[in-house]
Structure formats: C-alpha cells, structure tokens
Structure 1
C-alpha cells in the first residue's frame, strides 16, 4: 500500500502546475500507481499489502514525532556539535548498537533519524538489525541507546512495528 500511495503522490506532484489537477491525470496516476504496487509485490512477494499507512492517526503520530521529539533531538545535537567544534572536544568513533527493530520501515526511520542528526551517521545496518553508527563523541565502547540517539528507536518502533 505504501508503494501505491507514494507513487500516486509523486505522480500528482509532478503533474501539478499550481492549480487544480484534472480528473484525467488523477486516473492516470491511479492506474500507474496500481501497476507499480503490483509490480513491487511481484518483485518482493514476502511483503504483504497493508492498509496501516492510510490510518490518519498514524500520520498524526508521525508528524508529531517529526515536530517534537525529532526536532528537540536535532536542536540539542546542533548545539552539542557546535560546542565540540568550538572547544575541540571531539572523540569520534564507530559504535555498534542493536535496537531490536523488526520491520524494514522501523529500521529505515531510525537510520534516517540518526543520520539527519548532527554528530551521528548510520554507517551500516546488518541483516540481524545491528547498527554501526559513527558518533562524534564516543564515551564508551558499548554505549546505551539513549546516549547515542535518544528516544528515536522507541519512536521508530511505535511508528512502524
């Protein structure tokens, strides 16, 4: 379902010229999105169709995550990195963390949240779900999740698992 909604949205954004979108264009978008959704399913038959993404509460929760917990983490990380650059107290390194996320969507949300936050970068995610994160201030060889990326894993789990 995600592929259908994303494809249709992208098509409608591409044909939109600032005014209204003709019904004919919406019809073409629905047909193309349907073909892409079925093609995606045939390429990856282990993925099942889900209507969870159409739930408005799910979208509101995601918007809240972006506007509050992620924004707060982003602001704190910006100040932390700025202070480290000014003072020179930088101890970079790569740490391994295993948040235990089940779905690919949850893993992607966490990896993107980590990478978009200054001072951290998701280097790799193993098949078993282990994250290798480049961190600007390694204090411990095996740190706690809260030290590296705060509550992002809990939110990824809430949004996608």
Structure 2
C-alpha cells in the first residue's frame, strides 16, 4: 500500500501547491491524509494482489501505440458515423450482450472504457459472473452483431496491454 500512500501524498501536494513553495504544514497534512487513504485502501482491497506489471515500459508503449493508432482511427470513424446518423436520422438503437475473452479486470475495464469513449456506443453494464459487457449501440445492423462489428480490434489491444 506504499504506492497508494505515495500517489495520495503527491496528488494532495499537487492540489495544494499554488506555484510558490510548499508550507511544512501542508506536507504534514498530505502525509496524514495519505496514511489514512492507504489504510482504507488496504482494508477494502484485502483480496486484491497488486503487481509491478503496470510499470512495464513495453505495456506503456503498446498503450501509446493503441491510443494514436487503432483507438484514434476508431474514434474518428465513430464520430463521422454518428454525425451522418444525426443528420439523416437513420438510427436503430439496441443493447447487445458481448462476452470478450479477457481474463484480467484491467483488460475488461480498458475495453469497456474504449467502447464508451467512442461515439455511438456505450458500455451500460458489466456482468461480473460471466464477465460480459452490455453495450448500447446507436445503430444495430443486425440482431446479434459480432464483437468485431461492435468494437473492432479493441479487444486484441486490451489483451496485449493489460494481460
């Protein structure tokens, strides 16, 4: 929980910093707040095991490639599609259940957030038992679209980055 303490203290100090120096009282308050936040986090996340895989430079490289590559392309295509549908009024909304083959919570979260950030789709719910996503789409061409039709290569990239 040292990481939670350090991040909490750094966040507090960044918020309290006004461009000049930091008052020693503010540093003390930051340490106090960070201590209590780390204690609460430790109690609430007993069963979670944290690893250092999140600081792997290769994963960060994949993430940056994903943002400037497939995600950006998907974002532009979705924006154009939504603009066309708003102008023409050609909308057929629906909710679809999809079960991606992602093992980690981080991968599932990355996929769900990527789906939500692209216009025209929204991750409405996550079923934790079978790890499926409920996705609301602005336009459904068919009753059961394939995952590729819904979110393209996002699942592959989520697996590459988070698992």
What TM-score do the two structures reach when normalised by structure 1? 0.82
Where does 1:1-161 land on structure 2 (aligned, <5 Å)?
3=4, 6-18=7-19, 33=34, 36-127=37-128, 128-161=130-163
In 2: Cα distance, 1:63 partner to 1:5 partner? 25
58-67 or 148-157, larger mean C-alpha shift: 58-67
Distance apart, 1:83 and its partner CA = 0.8
Shift of 1:23: 9.5
In 2, the alpha carbon distance for the partners of 1:74 and 1:27 equals 44
Task: Give 5+ residue unaligned stretches, structure 1.
Answer: none
Pair 62,10 (structure 1): closer, same or farther in 2 beyond 3 Å: farther
CA RMSD of aligned residues (A): 2.7
Q: Mean alpha-carbon deviation: is it higher for 77-86 or for 97-106? A: 97-106
Residue 114 (structure 1) shift: 0.8
- Kindly provide the CA deviation profile for residues 51-92 of structure 1, in whole angstroms up to 9, marking residues without a partner as x: 112223322322222222211111110001111111221111
Number of residues of Structure 1 aligned to a counterpart in Structure 2: 161
What displacement does 1:16 show? Answer: 3.6
> How far 1:123 sits from its partner (Å)?
0.7
